[in-house]
Amino acid sequence: MELTILGCSGSYGGPNAGACSGYLVRDGSTTVWIDCGNGTFGHLQQHVAVEDLTALVITHAHPDHCVDLYGLHVMLRYALHRVGFPVYAPAGLEQHLGTLVDGDWGGTFSWHPIDDTQPVTIGSMTLRFARTDHPPPTYAVELTADGSRLVYTSDTGPGWSVAAFPPGADLVLSEATYLHDNKSAPIHLSAKEAGAAARDANARRLMLTHVWPQLDPTLIAAEGSGAFGAPVILAEPGLVTAV
């Protein structure tokens, strides 16, 4: 599997191509877009033709993880004339986000609810979900394909950890919104908490994302590396990593 960062700015867009949360995961011809935060649809088109997308997964209803769905809807519906494009999302998101299109998605999407009881197969990938510690129904995602395993925390407070999935993931992509001594909201992790959780789950590698834009990312990386016990990778738009 291969992971491409489309955006990693925490909660709101930052300068210098600072799109919010969005990730592309590929395995052979299976190409899955995970979270379509603001700014990520433009970046996505630098890496893949929209015609070649297999599915979209939305982890929760916060705007920085889902609002580029509207751009995808317009392109699929009016430029590509596609119907039934698969979207995997928490139950109710179709109606919740549908208020901005007066409930008229035009059949563009085929909606599949996700929860932490049912694995999902998308092409060559198996996806499992776990409800995190974050106010709207929010699901972390484990993707398995070709013998490798990626765990993405989505957004979470410290009441949930990547240990909800089996230990030893090849790559954990964890939110790390704050520095530990200046945490302003309990619904997100500090870099220290992200590093410690990934260490406890025996993650082979850790990448930190969803960093608050006003923070110095090198401080986030240093704090995360200290807690993880090995150097972490900092997400940045356009970064491509083998899982």
Instruction: Say if CB 82 and CB 59 are below 8 A apart.
Output: no
Choose the stretch contacting Zn ion; rule: CB under 5 A; options: 25-33, 57-65, 84-92, 94-102.
57-65
Contact 56, 67 (CB under 8 A): no
Q: How far is the CB of 156 from Zn ion (least distance, A)?
A: 9
3-state secondary structure of 73: helix
Asked if residue 155 binds Zn ion (CB under 5 A), the reply is yes
Question: How buried is residue 81: exposed, middle or buried, by Cβ count under 10 Å (0-12/13-18/19+)?
Answer: exposed
The token pair at 128 is 């499992």
Taking the least distance from each CB to Zn ion, the nearer of 190 and 225 is 190
Question: Does residue number 188 form part of the binding site for Zn ion (CB under 5 A)?
Answer: no
CB closer to Zn ion out of 142 and 155: 155
> In the complex, what is the shortest distance from the CB of residue 65 to Zn ion, in angstroms, rounded to a whole number?
6
Kindly indicate which of the ranges 55-63, 115-123, 177-185, 232-240 contains the residues binding Zn ion, using the contact rule CB under 5 A: 55-63
Site size with Zn ion, rule: CB under 5 A = 2
Question: Residue 77 Cβ, how far from Zn ion at the closest point, in Å?
Answer: 27
Nearest approach, Cβ of residue 11 and Zn ion (Å)? 7
Kindly report the length of the chain.
Answer: 243
Report the residue number, 35 or 223, with the smaller CB distance to Zn ion.
35
CB distance 130 to 139 below 8 Å? yes
Given a contact cutoff of 8 angstroms between Cβ atoms, the answer to whether 12 and 20 are in contact is: yes
For 181, phi then psi, to 5°, come to -80, 0
35 near Zn ion, rule: CB under 5 A: no
What's the Rg (C-alpha) of the chain? 17
Least distance (Å) from Zn ion to the CB of residue 210? Answer: 8
Helices and strands in the chain: count of H runs, count of E runs: 6, 14
Residue 62 is a binding residue for Zn ion (CB under 5 A) = yes
Nearer CB in complex with Zn ion: 155/223: 155
- Is residue 112 within 8 A of residue 94, CB to CB? The reply is no
For Zn ion, the closer of residues 214 and 218 by Cβ is: 214
Residue 227 near residue 194, CB atoms below 8 Å? yes
Work out how close the CB of 200 gets to Zn ion at its nearest, in angstroms, rounded to a whole number. 23
| 27 makes contact with Zn ion (CB under 5 A) | no
DSSP strand pairing (85-90 vs 109-114): parallel
Q: Which is nearer to Zn ion, 138 or 225 (CB)?
A: 138
Comparing CB distances to Zn ion, the nearer of 68 and 155 is: 155
Residues that bind Zn ion (CB under 5 A): 62, 155
